[in-house]
């Protein structure tokens, strides 16, 4: 009620004081701005979805490599049990295991860097969108989107 009696008359006066031709031009400029903003938002959402799919692929590859790493560690237990019988062979097996372990650790580091670079590289593009739509969800990609949201809100607090 307050708005209708106090604020609305002033706004009506301002709107009525604008001449018709400049008012129409101003209307089309504002309309063009909203259409452009809407289009950019839709394109950004589409790009965000493709980014989340890329991050999901990296995440899947990372979990696959980690499961391979766990299998390799499981095989080393069998090797350590044979240590009593085969001392000479054990040293070479341990070297192979440590070499594979370092290779897998390098792969994991590389995939983590790739994941972080995908998130950080695109952060400014999507922070506005995530702040505007905090309840944004993508089916099957919620955990990755949650990670990006945490980074956005973490940087917002700083």
Other beta carbons within 10 Å of 58: 20
Per-residue pLDDT of the chain (158 residues; tens, 9 = 90+): 677 677 788 888 888 898 999 989 999 999 999 999 999 888 888 877 877 777 777 777 777 777 776 666 555 555 555 444 445 544 555 566 667 667 777 777 777 777 766 666 655 666 777 777 777 777 776 777 777 777 766 666 55
pLDDT value for 36: 93
Quote the CA–CA distance of 68 and 97 in Å, as a whole number.
Answer: 12
pTM for the full model? 0.46
Tell me, what's the pLDDT at 96? 65
Radius of gyration of the chain (CA): 29
Given this model, what pLDDT does residue 28 score?
95
d(CA 132, CA 69): 41
A 10 A CB-CB count for 48 gives 20
Cβ of 136: how many Cβ atoms within 10 Å? 15
What ranges do the domains of the chain cover? 19-157
Q: CB of 51 within 8 A of CB of 122?
A: yes
Model pLDDT, residue 52? 77
pLDDT score, position 149: 73
By the 8 A CB rule, do 118 and 58 touch?
Answer: yes
pLDDT of residue 95: 66
């Amino acid at each position: 009620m307050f708005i209708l009696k106090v604020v609305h008359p002033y706004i009506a006066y301002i709107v009525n004081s604008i001449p018709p031709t400049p008012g129409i031009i101003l209307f089309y400029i504002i309309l063009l701005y909203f259409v452009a903003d809407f289009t950019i938002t839709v394109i950004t959402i589409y790009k965000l979805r493709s980014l989340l799919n890329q991050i999901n692929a990296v995440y899947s590859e990372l979990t696959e490599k980690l499961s391979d790493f766990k299998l390799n560690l499981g095989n080393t237990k069998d090797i350590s049990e044979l240590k009593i019988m085969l001392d000479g062979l054990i040293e070479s097996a341990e070297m192979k295991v440590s070499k594979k372990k370092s290779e897998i650790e390098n792969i994991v580091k590389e995939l983590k860097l790739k994941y972080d670079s995908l998130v950080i590289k695109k952060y400014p593009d999507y922070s506005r969108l995530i702040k505007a739509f905090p309840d944004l969800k993508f089916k099957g990609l919620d955990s990755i989107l949650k990670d990006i949201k945490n980074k956005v809100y973490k940087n917002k607090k700083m």
